[in-house]
């Protein structure tokens, strides 16, 4: 590949890590990939799913120029629930997105108790709830249903392991291949599981 400055760079290098060659590391984070996917769904009139805004209380604002304002102090009003929610095929969808650099486990410390309570409520009310987990080292993204996450959370509260093994997520999760327009096409998995 040639760059504008004339330097050449090989796409495949024997010294590069899996992360450098994966589709998931093209300058985008998982959340940005999901945002682009959700925009594609919206543009195609397939689903209406958005990132939930984080409730923030602004306390101090400086105005260095008349046309600019800089927030210098703010606090979270309340704990947020999950990252994304919306509607697809008349069903409520709610999910969290997490990226980990860990090669062998997904630490449950990445999820908070209030998020688990929210997911439990969504499941109890018949909504579709899950977590999208990206293992950055492997360049792999999975949809992991809330029912499995809740099971591991309960086990942790009962003194068992504080993480979910990568192999379990590969076995019970659903691999989401990277695509051009719908980068993280999680609705393709939802179609297989629920419709």
Helical ranges in 44-159 per DSSP H: 113-124, 146-157
Contacts of 64 (CB under 8 A, 6+ apart): 70
Q: Is pLDDT of 38 > 80?
A: yes
Report domain extents, the chain. 18-53+79-194
Which tens digits make up the pLDDT trace of 75-122? 766 667 899 999 999 999 999 999 999 999 999 999 999 999 999 999
Q: Is pLDDT of 9 > 50?
A: no
Q: What is the pLDDT of residue 14?
A: 35
Is residue 69 within 8 A of residue 61, CB to CB? The reply is: yes
Q: What is the pLDDT of residue 67?
A: 75
Which tens digits make up the pLDDT trace of 40-76? 999 999 999 999 877 677 778 888 877 788 888 877 6
51 strand-pairing partners: 84
**CA dist., res. 73 & res. 193, Å (int):** 44
Q: What is the pLDDT of residue 78?
A: 60
pTM of the model: 0.77
Q: What is the pLDDT of residue 76?
A: 65
- pLDDT more than 90, % of the chain: 69
Q: Identify the CA nearest to 29 among candidates 116, 120, 136.
A: 136
CA distances from 174 to 17, 19, 47, 166 (A): 24, 20, 20, 12
Q: What is the pLDDT of residue 57?
A: 74
CATH entry 1.10.3370.10 includes domain 18-53+79-194: no
């Amino acid at each position: 590949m040639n760059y504008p400055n004339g330097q050449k760079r090989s796409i495949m290098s024997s010294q590069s890590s899996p992360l450098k060659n994966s589709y998931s590391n093209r300058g985008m984070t998982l959340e940005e990939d999901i945002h682009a996917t959700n925009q594609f769904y919206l543009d195609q009139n397939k689903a209406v799913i958005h990132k939930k805004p984080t409730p923030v209380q602004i306390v101090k604002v400086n105005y260095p120029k008349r046309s600019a304002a800089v927030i210098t102090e703010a606090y979270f009003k309340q704990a947020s629930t999950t990252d994304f929610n919306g509607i697809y095929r008349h069903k409520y969808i709610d999910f969290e997105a997490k990226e980990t650099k860990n090669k062998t486990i997904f630490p449950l410390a990445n999820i908070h108790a209030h998020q688990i309570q929210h997911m439990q409520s969504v499941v109890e009310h018949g909504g579709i709830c899950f977590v999208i987990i990206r293992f950055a080292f492997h360049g792999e993204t999975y949809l992991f249903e809330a029912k499995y996450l809740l099971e591991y959370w309960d086990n942790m509260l009962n003194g068992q392991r504080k993480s979910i093994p990568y192999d379990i997520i590969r076995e019970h999760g659903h691999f989401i291949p990277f695509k051009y327009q719908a980068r993280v096409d999680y609705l393709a998995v939802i179609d297989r599981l629920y419709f």
